[in-house]
Amino acid sequence: MSEITKPTIRVGSRKSQLALIQSKHVLELLTQRYEDKNFHLETMTTIGDEVLDRALSQIGEKSLFTRELEVALEHNKVDLVVHSLKDMPTSLPLGMVIGAILEREDPRDAVIMSPKFFECTLATLPTGSVVGTSSLRRAAQLKRHFPHLVIQGIRGNLNTRLRKLDEEGTYAALILATAGVKRMNWESRISEYLNTDVSMYAIGQGALGIECRQDDMATRQLLAPFSHAETLLCCVAERAFLRTLEGGCSAPVAVESRFLDDVLYLKGGVWSLDGKRSITQSLDVKLTDIDDVPPAQSYTAVVSSHLSNSRLALAEWLGVSLAGKIVALGGGIILDEAKKETEQRNLVAANVRPSK
Considering the complex, state which of residue 137 and residue 339 has its C-beta at the smaller distance from ligand DPM.
137
Interface segment toward ligand DPM; rule CB under 6 A; list 84-92, 214-222, 298-306, 348-356 = 84-92
Contact track, ligand DPM, 236-265, x by CB under 6 A: -------------x----------------
> 87 an active-site residue?
yes
Q: Pick the piece of the chain touching ligand DPM (CB under 6 A) from 95-103, 172-180, 212-220, 345-353.
A: 172-180
Task: Give the separation between CA 69 and CA 47, rounded to whole angstroms.
Answer: 11
Q: Which stretch binds ligand DPM (CB under 6 A): 68-76, 94-102, 175-183, 274-282?
A: 175-183
- Which is nearer to ligand DPM, 46 or 304 (by Cβ)? 46
Binding map of ligand DPM across residues 135-164, x = CB under 6 A, - = no contact:
x-xx--------------------------
| 3-state DSSP of 264-297 | EEEEEEEECCCCCCEEEEEEEEECCCCCCCCCCC
Nearer to ligand DPM, 62 or 77 (CB): 62
Q: How far apart are CA 309 and CA 304, in angstroms?
A: 9
Catalytic residue (one of 79, 87, 109, 216): 87
Taking alpha carbons only, the member of 23, 189, 183, 177 closest to residue 110 is 177
- Which residues, including other chains, have CB under 8 Å from residue 218's CB and lie 6 or more apart? none
- Return the number of the residue (135 or 280) whose C-beta is nearest ligand DPM: 135
Among 26, 125, 179, 210, binds ligand DPM (CB under 6 A): 179
Task: Indicate the residue among 68 and 216 with the shorter CB distance to ligand DPM.
Answer: 68
Within 29-68, the residues that bind ligand DPM by CB under 6 A are 56
**Rounded CA gap, 333 and 271, in Å?**
10
- Sole window of 71-79, 81-89, 216-224, 287-295 interacting with ligand DPM (rule: CB under 6 A): 81-89
Exactly one of 14, 86, 143, 311 binds ligand DPM (CB under 6 A); that residue is 86
Contact letters (x/-) for ligand DPM, 188-217, by CB under 6 A? --------------x--xx-----------
Q: What is the DSSP code (8-state) at residue 5?
A: T
- Which lies closer to ligand DPM via its Cβ, residue 89 or residue 99? 89
* Sequence-ordered list of residues with C-beta below 8 angstroms from that of 28, at least 6 positions apart, any chain: none
Query: Are the C-beta atoms of residues 10 and 66 closer than 8 Å to each other?
Result: no
Burial 288-322 (b: 16+ CB within 10 A, else e): eeeeeeeeeebbbbbbbeebbbebbbbbbbbbbbb
Nearest distance from C-beta of residue 165 to ligand DPM, angstroms: 13
Radius of gyration of the chain (CA): 20
Q: Which stretch binds ligand DPM (CB under 6 A): 113-121, 174-182, 225-233, 293-301?
A: 174-182
Q: At what angle do helices 309-328 and 229-245 cross, to 10 degrees?
A: 40
Q: Specify the DSSP class assigned to residue 299.
A: B
Side chain identity at residue 56, one-letter code: L
Residues touching ligand DPM, count (CB under 6 A)? 17
Residues 6+ apart with CB under 8 A from 318: 237, 240, 241, 264, 266, 283, 284, 285
CB closer to ligand DPM, 106 vs 284 = 106
- CA dist 98 and 82 (Å) reads 10
Rounded to whole angstroms, the Cα distance separating 313 from 245 reads 18
The footprint of ligand DPM (CB under 6 A) covers 56, 84, 86-87, 133-135, 137-138, 176-177, 179-180, 202, 205-206, 249
Residues labelled catalytic: 87
